[in-house]
Amino acid sequence: DGVVKYLFILGEKEGKEIAIVWREYEDSWTEEDFKKDKEFIIKELDPVLNTGWTPHIVYVNGQSVLTPKLGEHLVEIRYIEPEFRRLMEG
């Protein structure tokens, strides 16, 4: 149906502000789909950023074209799956 569902979780761990973005995506996404995805994530986090709360780290599931420049802020982008795998194996 073309509708992508997103879940945003905001929090803090070990003194660092963290945003987690979980969304449904398809392996068939085009470059344009990923561009729209990036724009939507930035737009959704922008009101949060404007409150003075700025994530140090943004976790995202699956493939993404997010870059460290999140609007006017620089963040660290991490992918959920490798982190999860590392924690499960560790």
Q: What is the pLDDT of residues 33-48, one digit of tens each?
A: 999 999 999 989 887 7
Judge contact between 21 and 8, C-beta under 8 A. Answer: yes
Q: Is the pTM of this model over 0.85?
A: yes
pLDDT at position 35: 96
Q: What is the pLDDT of residues 54-78, one digit of tens each?
A: 899 999 999 999 999 987 889 999 9
pLDDT at position 71: 79
Q: Give the integer Cα–Cα distance in Å for 22 and 64.
A: 11
Which residues, other chains included, contact 9 with Cβ-Cβ below 8 Å and sequence gap of 6+? Answer: 19, 20, 22
Judge contact between 21 and 59, C-beta under 8 A. Answer: yes
